[in-house]
Amino acid sequence: LTRGFSIAQLLFAIAFIPAMLMFGAVSTITSWQRTQEIDRDIEYRGRVLATALAEGAVFGMVTGDKAALAEAITTIQRADPDLASLSVLDPDGRVIATSGLAPPGRDDVPFDQPIHLGTLPSDALTLDFPAATVQPSKAPTPRILGTARIVLTKALLVHAHRRALALSAALTLAAAV
């Protein structure tokens, strides 16, 4: 044996060093995977929530009813704690209704969805035509009434990820000792 080190110290080093190397490798891989998962989750939720806000804001945009717009915003905001802000903009980009005017953070991700006023094709409601003579009509171009903008923050998800990483580090250290 090497002089100056006790058997207990050598056994501890033999157990501790591989455990720390394994922890480092596993933590790096799981951290990267979790970051990718958070990005995918934010992207999906952002698109869904922006679409929901756009659909919910159509009535308020058509009628000019700001109370209906505020209700659409409040309903969507209750759905997700990661929402930093929601806004409904007119076609020129001016804010009509908004909620959660928090200053943008580095973990904030914006999503915009046009608010469309769709119409049915002119022959969509015709019921008395022979099936052989039906000609498909071109879908009319929807009129854009404005934009629904939401901003999601990754801060809560990233904080939870860091907390889980710290817990796994503590468990690894406890197991090595």
**Integer Cα distance of 48 and 112 in angstroms:** 11
CA dihedral 165, 173, 29, 160 (to 10 degrees): 0
Q: What is the DSSP string of 141-170?
A: PPEEEEEEEEEEE-HHHHHHHHHHHHHHHH
- pLDDT of the chain along its 177 residues, tens only? 456 788 888 888 888 888 888 888 888 888 888 889 888 988 998 899 999 899 888 888 888 888 888 888 888 888 787 888 899 999 998 989 888 766 667 778 899 999 988 754 444 444 454 555 555 556 566 788 999 999 988 877 778 878 887 887 777 667 656
Is residue 64 within 8 A of residue 57, CB to CB? The reply is no
Say how far apart CA 133 and CA 112 lie, in whole Å: 41
Measured in whole angstroms, the distance separating CA 45 from the mean position of its chain's CA atoms is 4
Rounded Cα distance between 87 and 76, Å, is: 11
Is residue 126 within 8 Å of residue 138, measured between CB atoms?
no
- DSSP string over 98-136: EE--PPP-TTEEEEEEEEEE----TTTT--SS-GGG--P
Distance CA 177, CA 56 (A): 57
Local structure of 95: helix, strand or coil: strand
Q: Nearest to residue 64, comparing CAs of 9, 145, 123?
A: 145
pTM of the prediction? Answer: 0.68
